[in-house]
Amino acid sequence: MRSEHDVDNSAALLQQVNQALHSATPLRIQGADSKAFLGRPMTGEVLDTRSHRGIVSYDPTELVITARCGTPLAELAAALDAAQQMLPCEPPS
């Protein structure tokens, strides 16, 4: 199940993590940052996951979907809806 938004950004993310590890720089893992107001403020260099997206595999008969960390919930929900399935949780709004 590939789409035009399917982007494997693993190499760039791994490089940023390795650089941060080498320089002892803390990382702040961030997607769309829509829940930044929850919890305590986070510090560190931003590791942006938004571009690392796409559904890697989906087996509706086994009820298993694997997606990259930057995949929007709406994209997941649309794929599941096509097979008359849904997310097993209510994401916070």
What residue ranges do the domains of the chain occupy?
10-35+42-82
In angstroms, the CA 91 to CA 93 distance is 6
What pTM was computed for the model?
0.80
Q: Would the pLDDT of 91 be above 70?
A: yes
For 9, 35, 41, the CA distances from 77, given in Å and listed in that order, are: 22, 19, 29
For 2, 10, 45, 54, the CA distances from 90, given in Å and listed in that order, are: 25, 28, 30, 20
Residue of 48, 49, 75, 80 lying closest to 64 (CA atoms): 80
Q: How does pLDDT run across 27-80, given as a tens digit for each residue?
A: 999 998 888 888 888 899 999 999 999 999 999 999 999 999 999 999 999 999
